[in-house]
Amino acid sequence: MKAAVVVFPGSNREHDVAAALERASGQAPKLVWHGEASLDDDYDLIVLPGGFSYGDYLRCGAMAAHSPITREIIHKANNGTPVLGICNGFQILTETGLLPGALMRNASLKFASRYVRMRVEAANTMFTSRYKPGQELVVPVAHGDGNYFADDATLDELEGEGRVAFRYVANDNPNGASRDIAGIFNAKRNVLGLMPHPENATDPLLGSTDGKPLFDSLVSALS
């Protein structure tokens, strides 16, 4: 599996996700600086990592969504290239319109860094095939703006089409997200955005390994 992790100024979890991808696939992904002219055509996976792109001084992800390299990512995503956006990456994906809705300030108005429980809502995708439907995972979150919002029609559509990927377990929603949504797919299911950090739950020494099957799923689908 040949993966690209796109690094914007202010990205800061690129090494974490690169390590998780390498652990799963045995192959180090390429860290691609946003200023590089273009993305090669033969990437099997594009990852937008966590962080504070451009300081998130405008809405989170809003600046990165207009970066030249992002135009190319949108184009490739629309042509079927798998794209994974984690945390700030999810925020960028909603700002580009590849995923619907928006990520608002946490309902607590505070940064939330802790382990949460979330449930696998769709186990039949290239991102989640190694999970069992309904499986409960323990993964860390670390964000100030993870409060997923969309209007009811959009939420109904996401749920109706089985495009909710992960949902926080009741009473463990760290940010007030609508309908406890932690992650969603696009209509073609080649784009996944989620707030929690599966890449930080792949090493037994650090506690949970519940994030590892996500990367294993990608390896088995894309290698």
> Exactly one of 87, 95, 121, 143 is catalytic; which is it?
87
33 vs 124, beta carbon nearer other proteins = 33
Query: What's 62's DSSP letter?
Result: T
> Hunting for tokens 């797919």 — which residue is that?
185
Binding letters toward other proteins, positions 90-129, x by CB under 8 A: --------------------xxxxx---------------
96 vs 200, beta carbon nearer other proteins = 200
Cα dihedral 156, 157, 159, 163 sign: negative
Distance CA 31, CA 132 (A): 31
Q: How far is the CB of 10 from other proteins (least distance, A)?
A: 5
Q: How far is the CB of 118 from other proteins (least distance, A)?
A: 15
54 φψ region: left (φ > 0), alpha (ψ -120 to 50), beta (else): left
Distance CA 116, CA 161 (A): 25
Q: Which residues in 180-219 contact other proteins (CB under 8 A)?
A: 197, 199-200, 203, 205-206
- Residues linked to residue 51 through DSSP beta bridges, in sequence order: 11
Task: Note whether 25 binds other proteins by CB under 8 A.
Answer: no
Whether 60 is a known active-site residue: answer: no
Q: Please pick, from the candidates 2, 9, 66, 123, the single residue that binds other proteins as defined by CB under 8 A.
A: 9
Q: How far is the CB of 77 from other proteins (least distance, A)?
A: 26
Distance CA 27, CA 19 (A): 10
Q: For residue 54, how many C-alpha atoms fall within 13 Å in the half-sphere facing its CB? A: 16
Whether 34 is a known active-site residue: answer: no
Catalytic site residues? 87, 197, 199
